[in-house]
Structure 1
């Protein structure tokens, strides 16, 4: 077992294809295949199975991944420190996102500074993304939280608030805000249970004893927007995630605590390691500029 084999395993586990792993590491696909084969012989078990065009991790691979990821991060960080430069010429960073609109300016800024670093992005709700960080399936995540989670390093980037989403034909199209009591009886289109936006909204409505009628539950922010635009009901969305769709409009919710923060999170032991350290620095700079 050697570092090349561990890097190959980590890259395949991150990108889920041998070709993408080879491109991320700047080596041939055959080199990836040989390193994985040698590693499997060393550990005495298969690490990957093929499902169509995708690669899936075996139970042994899931058990091995957190340890391998830690070794790879540590050695990459050591190489960066030895070279006495913060200029990361090559590398990759896996990122979990629940709020692309918040992340894109950070990605732009980071890519300008470190064009050789590949960003591999996975989308999900905040609850699932925290699990992925804890499992070393992603290095960092940008998630919506009511408050920092003590199990992670949490850097607050921006403030958010839940808004009511309506379509052009709705009677509220011309108003700028509504009261919580006015929501009673309205047909709501909500995200899945793990959505932090939904949790914030439902917690606030519970405190105010306002009953919510759910017409439809959908698994993505984009699906909720399309359903609202089609006139199927009203929805909820964080203010920075409304986008530019002229068919829908966000309305502020008066008299309810529906605020939260967008946080960049990682595991404490990874915060000062190589590319993660630089991504945190870039995100903090972008957040500071945005507040200014």
Structure 2
């Protein structure tokens, strides 16, 4: 074999950081050792894996083509190493989740996973749909749990579970208790909604087709709790997943607004890289999610 696993590690770390110094820090190597390892790999095969742009090292066309295979080789090597060591746990898992899923669904799943595999190393990154998709596509995350729709050539989407958004307001709002609220009245109200790029905003925009341009969007916030607090303060209407509103509705601090003429249903999805090696941890996680759909 004309390359080493260490050379693959340096290649992948450099591809991630686009900087040899940060790649070396991640691998606990000196910068000169990391640089030499990468240079030796390129010279062995007479190839250029990176384009040097100032201080940045951007993957060349060949580097982009080889990265998925290098990712799979490294993952398989780590799985083999765990098996040699007699590991009884499925290893590490990097999960990404959008805000509603991360705050209300992912944590109980992680608890269930760790109940079965106490030594599992699991990390959770919470962000909006576009950021999670970008991180999965860049191999920074093993799997993403998203609320939005993604059409990405490098990503595989698996339908997970159904969800629905709900328009809501403060208990003393004029719309509270109404049997239904017309589109005309919706257009007169102030709205507090999620930011563009989020799955919730994507569903909201789709549901409000035809009147979206007429809506008075006064605030765009990145966090569901901030939106709920703003609506409780009487600043306008909100629209979030019913999952995130259950407790507030039970307390009576927020109330649903009936908008039967609008379709707020959506599909929650699991995404992974098409070329991702499915480790034991990833297979276990997907199986667990299937059981809780």
> Which range, TM-score by smaller chain?
0.7 to 0.9
Deviation at 1:88, TM superposition (A): 2.2
> Which secondary structure does the structure 2 equivalent of 1:110 belong to?
helix
| CA shift for structure 1 position 213 | 0.8
Whether the 8 Å CA contact 1:190–1:198 is kept in 2: the answer is yes
Structure 2: 5+ residue stretches without partners: 17-24, 40-54
Does 2:259 correspond to 1:253? Answer: yes
1:88 equivalenced with 2:89 (yes/no): yes
Structure 1: 5+ residue stretches without partners:
15-29, 45-57, 288-292
Deviation at 1:224, TM superposition (A): 1.4
After superposition, the Cα gap between the structure-2 partners of 1:9 and 1:281, relative to the gap in structure 1 and judged at 3 Å, is farther
Quick one: which of 111, 115, 120 aligns to 2:118?
Answer: 115
Partner of 1:238: 241
Indicate conservation of the 8 Å contact 1:239/1:250, yes or no.
Answer: no
* Residue 42 (1) aligns with residue 48 (2): no
C-alpha separation between the residues in 2 aligned to 1:148 and 1:102? 23
Q: Using the TM superposition, give the Cα deviation of residue 181 of structure 1 relative to its aligned residue in structure 2, in angstroms.
A: 4.1
| Residue in structure 1 matched with residue 97 of structure 2 by the alignment | 97
How do 1:1-292 and structure 2 match up within 5 A? 2-3=4-5, 33-34=28-29, 38-43=33-38, 59-60=56-57, 69-79=71-81, 87-88=88-89, 91-98=91-98, 99-100=101-102, 101-146=104-149, 151-175=154-178, 178-207=181-210, 211-245=214-248, 246=251, 247-270=253-276, 272-287=278-293
CA contact (8 A) 2:147 2:269 kept: yes
Call closer, same or farther: CA 1:285–1:109 in 2, change over 3 Å.
Answer: same
Alignment match, 2:42:
none
Distance (whole Å) between structure 2 residues aligned to residue 183 and residue 120 of structure 1: 40
SS of residue in 2 equivalent to 1:232:
coil
* TM-fit CA distance, 1:175: 4.4
Shift of 1:136: 0.9
> What is the Cα deviation at residue 237 of structure 1?
0.2
Q: Deviations over 1:167-191 (max 9, x none)?
A: 2321233347544443111100111
Q: Deviations over 1:114-167 (max 9, x none)?
A: 222222121111122111111112111100135886753323222111111212
Give per-residue Cα distances to partners, 1:186-241, cap 9 Å, x unaligned: 10011111122112222222246772111111122222122212221111101112
SS across alignment from 2:140: coil
Shift of 1:274: 2.5
TM-score (norm 1): 0.72
Of the two, which has the highest radius of gyration? 2
Alpha-carbon distance in structure 2 between the residues aligned to 1:116 and 1:37: 35
Q: Is the 8 A contact 1:143 1:263 kept in 2?
A: yes
Structure 2 contact 168–254 (Cα < 8 Å) conserved:
yes
Instruction: Report how far residue 8 of structure 1 moved.
Output: 9.2
CA distance in 2, matches of 1:226, 1:257: 25
Structure 2 length normalisation: TM-score?
A: 0.72
Q: Residue 210 and residue 12 in structure 1: after superposition, are their counterparts in 2 closer, same or farther (change >3 A)?
A: closer
